Amino acid sequence: MRVAGLFSGIGGFELGLRTSGHEASLLVENFPPALHVLRRRFPDVKVEEDVRDVTAIPTGTDLLVAGFPCQDLSSVGRKAGITGSKSSLVAEVFRILKTGDVPWVVLENVPFLLSLNKGSALSFVTQTLTALGYRWCYRVVDSNAFGLPQRRNRWFLVASRVGDPRDVLLADQATPPSVVDDYRSAACGFYWTEGMRAFGWTVDGVPPIKCGSSVGVASPPAIRTPSGEFITPDIRDAERLQGFPEDWTAPAEEVARPGQRWRLVGNAVSPPVAQWLGERLALPGFYDPSNDRPIEGPPWPRQAAWADYDGRIHAAKVSAFPAWLPRDPLATFLRHGGRPLSARAANGFLSRTRKGSLRFPAGFLADLEEHARSMTDA
């Protein structure tokens, strides 16, 4: 397929689609460090700088992809909703779709859009797609399904004017194995920037790599290794945890502070998820909808739903795991040593835990206190 990418970021969609045989013919991105990465990693592809300036997409575009801005739709963001200054840019996707006859569309965002303001963002998106003559389906998919030791649920929507999007997005289903019994035998991720209401605890994986945090800037998660050390991973391992080759975002350092790479990686679509979508776009599977029930609309099903050309919504019974690809445990997946979690970061986390009422795995806080003491003494 010939692909036009809007809100391309560092090209997670486009890289994954390239791996499955599709080619981008347009990339659109306005954040200078991301733009710099795109120009370096896709040197032959036309790049435009602002979605609002795109008047038409290349003739013969088969697929338009857009991970539209999530700041207004995220559980940790401004929660302004689909009319917020950033997320309202999804209207640009529809304006551009009206300029051509694009058979396939794939959108991506955070799953919080299913519930924020009673799912009004999703109502706007799906009603507009139906009015434009698309049938659609959505599914929350976990990047962890694709061999990455990162827990990352993201909402994906596939729409089509020519084929059945359910055979792309809903046809595959796998069962992940049960989790490790004793967390101490695995590397475990958590957010040292949190600790009061949540802390992102993930056994044998990291919580979702984010583009921002409660301390303002994008911050790495922390990892407790099986030997009891507390570290923050290297950015190159963060890129790999997202499914990019390591140093994919290194060109950003030519135009921005190194820390900006965390924001770029945290914003991105995991390329292996896009690769799977690309494989299914090339060779659709078969989804049997005969047991799906019609619903009236919001509240939106938390996992998956679909509508045919008539816009009648049906809940679908699929999980966040279309696959369960082989992976290394997090402890051996990491190639770079990372940095010890600083005493300041550890103590800040510990003081937040005392103010909240969260429960923590047995021995975890005592180990972290010991780590904070050793870092203060060092």
Ligand X SMILES: C[S@@+](CC[C@H](N)C(=O)[O-])C[C@H]1O[C@@H](n2cnc3c(N)ncnc32)[C@H](O)[C@@H]1O
Q: Which of residues 43-82 bind ligand X (CB under 6 A)?
A: 50-52, 67, 69-70
Shortest approach of ligand X to residue 77 CB, angstroms? 11
Residue 309, SS3? coil
Which of 7, 146, 230, 248 is close enough to bind ligand X by CB under 6 A?
Answer: 7
Residue 136 binding ligand X, by CB under 6 A: no
In the bound state with ligand X, the residue whose beta carbon lies nearer, of 119 and 266, is 266
If phi > 0 it is left, if psi is from -120 to 50 it is alpha, else beta; for residue 243 that is: left
Q: Which of residues 202-221 bind ligand X (CB under 6 A)?
A: none
Return the closest-CA partner of residue 372 out of 352, 339, 349, 338: 349
Residue 13 binding ligand X, by CB under 6 A: yes
Residue 156 binding ligand X, by CB under 6 A: no
Which of 3, 9, 41, 157 is close enough to bind ligand X by CB under 6 A?
Answer: 9
Rounded-to-integer distance, Cα 299 and Cα 343, Å: 44
> How many residues are listed for the chain in this entry?
378
Tokens of 297: 């609309």
Shortest approach of ligand X to residue 70 CB, angstroms? 5
Residue nearest to ligand X (CB): 9
> How many residues bind ligand X, per CB under 6 A?
22
Q: State which H helix or E strand residue 125 sits in.
A: helix 120-131
Of 10-18, 74-82, 314-322, 342-350, which part binds ligand X (CB under 6 A)? 10-18
Q: Which of residues 248-287 bind ligand X (CB under 6 A)?
A: 267-269
191 class by beta-carbon count within 10 Å (0-12 exposed, 13-18 middle, 19+ buried): buried
Residue 239 binding ligand X, by CB under 6 A: no
The crossing angle, in degrees rounded to 10, of helices 343-355 and 364-377 is 140
Q: Which residue has the tokens 């890129």?
A: 239
Q: Where are the beta strands (DSSP E) in the chain?
A: 2-6, 23-28, 46-48, 63-66, 104-109, 135-142, 153-160, 188-190, 202-203, 222-224, 230-232, 304-307, 313-315, 339-340
Shortest approach of ligand X to residue 267 CB, angstroms? 4
Rounded-to-integer distance, Cα 63 and Cα 155, Å: 18
Of 9-17, 137-145, 157-165, 330-338, which part binds ligand X (CB under 6 A)? 9-17
Shortest approach of ligand X to residue 48 CB, angstroms? 8
What value, to the nearest 5°, has the Cα angle with vertex 210 and ends 95 and 333? 120
User: What are the CA-CA distances from residue 348 to residues 151, 369, 376 (Å)?
Assistant: 24, 11, 13
Rounded-to-integer distance, Cα 146 and Cα 320, Å: 11
Of 1-9, 199-207, 251-259, 286-294, which part binds ligand X (CB under 6 A)? 1-9
Residue 4 binding ligand X, by CB under 6 A: no
In the bound state with ligand X, the residue whose beta carbon lies nearer, of 245 and 356, is 245
Of 7-15, 214-222, 308-316, 342-350, which part binds ligand X (CB under 6 A)? 7-15
Shortest approach of ligand X to residue 213 CB, angstroms? 16
Shortest approach of ligand X to residue 92 CB, angstroms? 7
In the bound state with ligand X, the residue whose beta carbon lies nearer, of 28 and 346, is 28
Q: Which residues are CB-neighbours of 279 under 8 A, at least 6 positions away? A: 20
Shortest approach of ligand X to residue 280 CB, angstroms? 18
Residue 12 binding ligand X, by CB under 6 A: yes
Residue 31 binding ligand X, by CB under 6 A: yes
Neighbours of 204 (CB within 10 A): 22
Q: Which residue has the tokens 């402890």?
A: 331
Which of 63, 82, 89, 222 is close enough to bind ligand X by CB under 6 A?
Answer: 89
Active site residue 70: yes
In the bound state with ligand X, the residue whose beta carbon lies nearer, of 153 and 347, is 153
Rounded-to-integer distance, Cα 121 and Cα 73, Å: 8
Return the closest-CA partner of residue 156 out of 107, 208, 105, 89: 107
User: Which residues of this protein are in contact with ligand X, per CB under 6 A?
Assistant: 7-13, 28-31, 34, 50-52, 67, 69-70, 89, 267-269
Which positions are catalytic? 70
